[in-house]
Amino acid sequence: AAGVIQSPRHLIKEKRETATLKCYPIPRHDTVYWYQQGPGQDPQFLISFYEKMQSDKGSIPDRFSAQQFSDYHSELNMSSLELGDSALYFCASSLGGTSSYNEQFFGPGTRLTVL
């Protein structure tokens, strides 16, 4: 079965640079979520989108922005990168809009390293 696709899988950036992470949800899934997982920590919710509209927002820095496109893929844009932004970034997708009962399926993640 098709899964969530994320690109790139690994990314190395310098401080103050920008990065763009991409997420392609499972076919027919209309909702995407972004999570950040630091070393030894649990995933932290950043932001979610349903039908191209932001549906929920978590602890996402102002330096980060995201959007969902008409084909439901999503991009997370990160600017003025800091050392503390080094983490695994996961995208998850679900079907059926925003609901507390949606099952979220995670992609393989993008490992971002900021030097």
Q: Which residues bind other proteins (CB under 8 A)?
A: 31, 33, 35, 41-45, 48, 50, 55-56, 58, 88, 90, 94, 98-109
Residue 109: CB minimum distance to other proteins, A: 5
Closest separation between CB of residue 90 and other proteins, Å?
Answer: 6
- Of 67 and 95, nearer to other proteins (C-beta) is 95
Order of strands across the sheet that contains 64-68: 5-7, 19-24, 74-78, 64-68
Q: Are 48 and 33 in contact (CB under 8 A)?
A: yes
Find out whether 21 and 76 touch, Cβ atoms under 8 Å. yes
CA-based end-to-end distance of the chain: 36
In terms of CB distance, is 25 or 109 closer to other proteins?
Answer: 109
Between residues 16 and 53, which has the closer beta carbon with respect to other proteins?
A: 53
